[in-house]
Amino acid sequence: MIKGMISDKSSPFNKDESFPKEYFLIPKNLPFALGLVLHHPQSSTIGLSKEQIDILMKMKKESKPAILKKAKEIRDMELSLLSMLETNEGSKDKVTKEMSELVDKIASAKAELTKAHLQCVIDVQNVLTKEQREKAISLVSNKKKDIYVQNKDIASKGMKYAKGLIDSLKPSLMESLKKDKSGLKGMEMCSSVAMKMTESYNQIFPKVPKVRKNRHKIPESGE
């Protein structure tokens, strides 16, 4: 049933993977605080000072590599579990010891990642004032969609332009992944391209509301 469906470190059952978020033990009921306060479309309303932004960006720079590495390890283990089912071919009638041990290992790794996540949330809370924490919470409780481009023609052109840039990135990205198995260099490359894409889009479509990679002007060295 599954044989032949696993390829290129991805699962046919998870085509819309949200990496690394979905590899946390609690992926939806806890806030991803750094992303919220730094990159939410309305994060400027929180009123972060330059000093606070510098502290938060340092936290992100220090924690992101370890999070990506652990999430990748978890994904690889899950795919190994899937591979065990692929090679089963109806020859087993119950969960094997190897499968059971791998499930426990996955659960333990997800718990470890989530504990780091909790510590990150606490660290972010301690950087913000009470008023800023309340504003941050209001951003996620506000269900109104933040729509920047309502003109369908402009939106279509923007998507076409973005797709062209992404397609041009693929060869370099694949080459980078061959050299750096951790994927960190690839993430840096994508971040850089996203910044350039944002700047180019705003130059090409100057009459529409500005698109921003994030709401704060953060030096490239902090990415």
Domains of the chain by residue range: 21-141, 152-222
Q: How far apart are CA 223 and CA 211, in angstroms?
A: 18
- Considering only residues 179 and 21, tell me which one the structure prediction assigns the higher pLDDT: 21
- Considering only residues 182 and 154, tell me which one the structure prediction assigns the higher pLDDT: 182
Supply the pLDDT for residue 173. Answer: 76
Global pTM? 0.60
Q: Considering only 27-36, 104-113, 185-194, which range has the smallest mean pLDDT?
A: 185-194
- Confirm if 189 and 172 have CB atoms less than 8 A apart: yes
Q: How far apart are CA 91 and CA 88, in angstroms?
A: 6
Percent of the chain with pLDDT over 90: 45
Q: How far apart are CA 68 and CA 90, in angstroms?
A: 35
> CB pairs under 8 A, 24+ apart, for 187-190?
187/68, 188/223
Burial class of residue 106 in the structure, from the number of CB atoms within 10 Å of its CB (0-12 exposed, 13-18 middle, 19+ buried): buried
- Considering only residues 221 and 97, tell me which one the structure prediction assigns the higher pLDDT: 97
Residue 100 pLDDT exceeds 90: yes
- Considering only residues 96 and 177, tell me which one the structure prediction assigns the higher pLDDT: 96
Residue 80 CB contacts under 8 Å (≥ 6 apart), including other chains: 102
Supply the pLDDT for residue 88. Answer: 67
Q: How far apart are CA 75 and CA 219, in angstroms?
A: 31
Q: Looking at residues 101-122, what average pLDDT do you find?
A: 97
